[in-house]
C-alpha cells in the first residue's frame, strides 16, 4: 500500500497509488479518492481512468483534478467544494502527496476553515513543509 499520511480526521494524502491500492483504501475506510496527478506524468503510472474504474468497483467516489505545478484558483475552489460535500474520509494523491496537501491547505486558508499556523503544523505532522506556500 502507498505511504498514506493522515492530515486530519477527514483527509489523508499519499504518493501515487496503484489500482490494487484502491481496494486497500476501501478496506481502510476511505470513501472518496481525489487524484491530483496528471496522466502520463511519467512512464508506468496508472491512468486516472484505471484508478477511477477501481474506485467505482469498490463503491468509492472519485475525482480527477490534475494539478501541474502550483494549483490554480479554480483547482483550489473545486477542492474546497468537493471536500465540503465528499463522503469522508478522503484520500488525495499525486506523485509525492505534495500537490494534494498544498491544494488542500490553500483551500483551507482561502475559505478561512483553518489558520496558517495550524495548517503548517498539520503539514509538518504529515511530513510536508507548507511554509513556502502559506508564508
How does residue 135 score in pLDDT terms, banded at 50, 70 and 90?
A: confident
From CA 70, how far away is CA 55, in angstroms rounded?
A: 26
Where do the domains of the chain lie?
Answer: 5-129
Q: What confidence score (pLDDT) does residue 82 get?
A: 95
Question: Residue 91's CB: how many other CB atoms inside 10 A?
Answer: 27
CA diameter of the chain = 41
Q: Alpha carbon of 95 to those of 42, 70, 121: distances in Å?
A: 9, 14, 22
- The per-residue pLDDT for range 14-42, each reduced to its tens digit, is 999 999 999 999 999 999 999 999 999 99
From CA 14, how far away is CA 56, in angstroms rounded?
A: 19
Q: Tell me the pTM.
A: 0.96
- The per-residue pLDDT for range 80-96, each reduced to its tens digit, is 999 999 999 999 999 99
Residue 50, by phi and psi: left (phi above 0), alpha (psi -120 to 50) or beta? alpha
Give the CATH fold of the 5-129 domain. Answer: 3.90.190
Residue 127, by phi and psi: left (phi above 0), alpha (psi -120 to 50) or beta? left
For residue 1, pLDDT over 90 is answered with no
From CA 28, how far away is CA 73, in angstroms rounded?
A: 31
Amino acid at each position: 500500500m502507498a505511504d498514506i499520511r493522515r492530515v486530519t480526521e477527514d483527509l489523508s494524502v499519499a504518493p501515487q497509488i496503484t489500482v490494487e491500492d484502491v481496494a486497500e483504501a476501501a478496506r481502510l475506510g476511505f470513501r472518496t479518492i481525489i487524484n491530483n496527478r496528471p496522466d502520463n506524468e511519467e512512464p508506468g503510472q496508472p491512468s486516472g481512468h484505471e484508478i477511477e474504474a477501481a474506485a467505482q468497483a469498490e463503491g468509492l467516489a472519485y475525482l480527477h483534478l490534475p494539478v501541474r505545478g502550483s494549483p490554480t484558483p479554480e483547482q483550489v475552489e473545486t477542492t474546497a467544494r468537493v471536500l465540503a460535500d465528499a463522503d469522508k474520509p478522503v484520500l488525495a494523491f499525486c506523485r509525492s502527496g505534495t500537490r494534494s496537501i498544498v491544494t488542500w491547505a490553500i483551500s483551507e486558508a482561502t475559505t478561512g476553515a483553518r489558520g496558517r499556523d495550524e495548517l503548517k503544523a498539520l503539514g509538518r505532522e504529515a511530513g510536508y513543509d507548507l511554509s513556502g506556500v502559506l508564508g
